[in-house]
Structure 1
Amino acid sequence: MRRAVLVISSLGMGGAESVMAWLAAGLDSREVAVTILTFDHGDDVPYYPLPAGVVVRHLKLSGPSLSAVGGLLNNVRRCRVLRSAILTESPDVVVSFMEQTNVLTLLAVGGRCPVVVSERVHPMYPVGRPWAWLRRCIYGRAAALVVQTASIGREYGWLKTAQVKVIPNAAIPSGCKEPTVRFSGPAVVGMGRLHEQKGFDILLRAFAKVAMEFPQWKLVIFGDGPKKSELQELTTSLGLAHRVVFAGQTPTPHADLAQGDIFAFPSRFEGFPNALCEAMTIGMACVAADCPGGPADLIDDGRNGLLVPPGDVKALTETLGRLMADQPLRIRLGLQAGEVVERFSVERVMDQWEACLIEAVATNPGKRLKQCAE
């Protein structure tokens, strides 16, 4: 395997974008020539750093469609432009992230080159009926489907078992950066996109119920998203305006999280709990919703963290109170949490990705897109 093309809608801030940047850097370090194709217009620099050897090409394919017919025509155009761009690169393998991009990439390539697609969220995430139907029809053409947890892999039982590969995200050890947002005093910390999926409304309601008992504690939430105003209004209505900090996005998550005492992860569903993994990496005491898509793959309940039923305000309230009152318990859970660095080490996860891509090339001999251009 000498050349790889990676396809994603953009390289902005996000879990999928972070992993793609990490994968590109890992392949580059193993002497694979990497080109990333994005659908955006390239107005912003990539949020996550990339090695100098990784080429990024912005195909300028993003934008709204005003009607169903317009959407169909736009997607036909996207497939044509994407196919031409991939032909130009003549890769040994193509890797695509996220459901809509995956479908378009498989249609663009047309089976003439091995394509590895990766789902980065739980399939219960609404993608729209046309895309869900296309995914079910088209994914069989992929050389492999990469998911992040075994539980998500089981959701794709309609694919061949050998086609589904479980590759978690790597637990990247903390650097020595200074925090972007400073705070002091005991704190419960949350981090993630401010979206209904992430369940911060559940966390706010739970924190409100223990706030009076623990008046010295605050809640700090890192992230941004479409629910920010709604969550701020909920904070005010719960009487927590002076106890909750919405700290925004941060380029230094480890350093910012490390100031807290408890990490709360209230998601309704996940693809892989990246923020939870980051918190465990730095040895935080964590409580997480046992939602579809991953927390139970990281947390052994009672040993290296605590699990509560998803959406259960009462259970989260009780568990937060238990942790806030018991410093020795927080220390014990935090010490055990750090083991994820070894379980999900950068080298181990990169080896899994490389093996997956090599297998995709080996099982699709002779399929190189340059042949189509001849």
Structure 2
Amino acid sequence: MPSNATTVKPPTLRIMLFIHSLHAGGAERVAVDLANQWHIHGHDVIVVTQTDASGDVYELNRHIERVALNTAGLSGIMANLRRLYVLRKALQRYRPDIVLGMMTTASILSVIASTGLRTRVIATEHTHPPSQNLSSFWLKLRRRTYPRAAKVVALTRDTASWIVNHVPGSDMAVIPNAVHWPLADSEPKVTPPSRNGRCRLLAVGRLHTDKGFDILIDAFRDLAQVFPDWDLVILGEGTERERLQAQIDAAGLADRISMPGRVGNMRQWYQACDIYVLSSRVEGLSNSLLEAMACGMPSVAFDCETGPREIIRPDIDGLLVTPVEDPQALAAALSGLMHDKQARKTLASRAVDVRDRFSMRRVLSLWQEVFNDIQHHEKKE
């Protein structure tokens, strides 16, 4: 018999996302993804940044209003007072139901700027707090402001536990990043070089010490002679390029390790390589690891304090390596997979489960639960 039940559509919300910029970065990408999806689902979305649009890497839906506060590059207490002033003006002008502060300082500023307004603030943490380089000033402000936020969202359970213990009074929720599937191409498009019968390890990320590419280079140096038909590709840009290139040259591996820079056609690169390696010392929740697994890549990652362990199911769809920051341990794990093509195929066949486990549909439903909870508490007040 047909059901008489009707689906109740969630109320339309005016949602403001506040983030420093839309330049390259994981949180920036997540902000654009969420903004675009919420717009598609009928919400009124505004994205507020401190920078203008000239350096944008990620593309907002053209119907989403983009507001630039032009407060980037300022420093000191007066600069932050200026940021609070112009952000509060934006809140008063647009009167959002919910403000999403993307990352720690944006979250703190959002809570303070919304004081006395009806806007509800959701603070978010995109990196594990112990790995952040925050001054005592911002640490104190986080302890004062997060308990005033309507919700604090962490990417992982471990980060949520840390905040509960170190920022008491925070109302926590855990929402991971969604995996992009199918992966969309963007600029710059760089064609992977021909394999010519060779195999490849692939690593992706900012060229920054947190990503541990120096450890990966040391590990590959130990593997290079044993596996003469394997190469290593590191995709990304950052401040550590010169130092990493010097390390590669000193190891005599310039013809085996390449750093082509940032590319936009990631799916083509994932498909052109054989094993994905995440050598990070610290992680939030790795978008590149999710993408690699969605593309069917067997993956090896250090079991750092947060992140990979919530994505990889050990020996089912990838390998977790301990101790962290140990190039010999990483080399040993990689060696086993490089030797065993069938093991790579087995892990790859199960890795694609992340398409469902971290689907946008599931992530949006978790965000809707947060919105519903905030509105429920608002009605009780």
Assess same fold via TM > 0.5: yes
**Quick one: which of 172, 176, 179 aligns to 1:168?**
176
Distance 1:161 1:105, change over 3 A: closer
1:239 Cα deviation (Å)?
Answer: 1.2
Residue aligning to 2:32: 21
Is 1:222 paired with 2:235?
yes
Alignment partners' CA distance in 2, 1:358 and 1:255? 39
Is 1:180 paired with 2:190?
yes
1:93–1:361 Cα contact (<8 Å) kept:
no
Structure 2-normalised TM-score?
A: 0.91
Distance 1:161 1:289, change over 3 A: farther
Is 1:54 paired with 2:64?
yes
Structure 1-normalised TM-score?
A: 0.93
Alignment partners' CA distance in 1, 2:116 and 2:200? 52
SS at match of 1:240: coil
**Quick one: which of 342, 357, 367 aligns to 2:371?**
357
SS at match of 1:209: helix
Residue aligning to 2:4: none
1:116–1:357 Cα contact (<8 Å) kept:
no
Q: Tell me the percent identity.
A: 34
Equivalent runs, 1:60-99 vs 2, <5 Å: 60-65=70-75, 71-99=76-104
Alignment partners' CA distance in 1, 2:134 and 2:169? 24
1:12 Cα deviation (Å)?
Answer: 0.9
Q: Which amino acid aligns with 2:41?
A: R
Q: Which amino acid aligns with 2:120?
A: P
1:162 Cα deviation (Å)?
Answer: 7.5
Residue aligning to 1:254: 267
Distance 1:111 1:154, change over 3 A: farther
The CA RMSD measured in Å over matched residues stands at 1.7
1:263–1:286 Cα contact (<8 Å) kept:
yes
Q: Which amino acid aligns with 2:359?
A: S
Is 1:270 paired with 2:276?
no
Alignment partners' CA distance in 2, 1:76 and 1:161? 26
SS at match of 1:157: helix
1:351 Cα deviation (Å)?
Answer: 1.2
Distance 1:241 1:305, change over 3 A: same
Residue aligning to 1:121: 127
Is 1:144 paired with 2:144?
no
1:2 Cα deviation (Å)?
Answer: 2.4
Alignment partners' CA distance in 1, 2:58 and 2:147? 31
1:116–1:360 Cα contact (<8 Å) kept:
no
- Can you list the C-alpha shifts for 1:203-232, whole angstroms capped at 9, x where unaligned? 000000000111111100000111111111
Alignment partners' CA distance in 2, 1:98 and 1:175? 24
1:111 Cα deviation (Å)?
Answer: 5.0
2:219–2:328 Cα contact (<8 Å) kept:
yes
SS at match of 1:364: helix
Is 1:130 paired with 2:137?
yes
Alignment partners' CA distance in 2, 1:111 and 1:182? 54
Distance 1:243 1:337, change over 3 A: same
Distance 1:177 1:78, change over 3 A: closer
1:106–1:115 Cα contact (<8 Å) kept:
yes
1:42–1:60 Cα contact (<8 Å) kept:
no
Alignment partners' CA distance in 2, 1:254 and 1:111? 47
Alignment partners' CA distance in 1, 2:269 and 2:122? 35
1:169 Cα deviation (Å)?
Answer: 0.7
Alignment partners' CA distance in 2, 1:6 and 1:246? 33
1:114–1:364 Cα contact (<8 Å) kept:
no
1:92–1:361 Cα contact (<8 Å) kept:
no
**Quick one: which of 96, 101, 105 aligns to 2:110?**
105
Alignment partners' CA distance in 2, 1:174 and 1:43? 27
Alignment partners' CA distance in 2, 1:195 and 1:180? 22
Residue aligning to 1:240: 253
1:103 Cα deviation (Å)?
Answer: 1.0
Alignment partners' CA distance in 2, 1:255 and 1:19? 21
User: Which segments of 5 or more consecutive residues in structure 2 lack a partner in the other structure?
Assistant: 1-11
1:365 Cα deviation (Å)?
Answer: 4.3
2:51–2:71 Cα contact (<8 Å) kept:
yes
Equivalent runs, 1:40-51 vs 2, <5 Å: 40-44=51-55, 46-51=56-61
Residue aligning to 1:338: 352
1:366 Cα deviation (Å)?
Answer: 9.9
User: Which segments of 5 or more consecutive residues in structure 1 lack a partner in the other structure?
Assistant: 66-70, 368-374
Residue aligning to 1:68: none
Comparing both chains, which one has the higher relative contact order based on Cα–Cα distances under 8 Å and sequence gaps of 6 or more?
1
2:163–2:170 Cα contact (<8 Å) kept:
no
1:51 Cα deviation (Å)?
Answer: 1.4
1:247 Cα deviation (Å)?
Answer: 1.4
Alignment partners' CA distance in 2, 1:292 and 1:38? 30
**Quick one: which of 312, 323, 327 aligns to 2:326?**
312
> 87-96 or 129-138, which moves further after superposition?
129-138
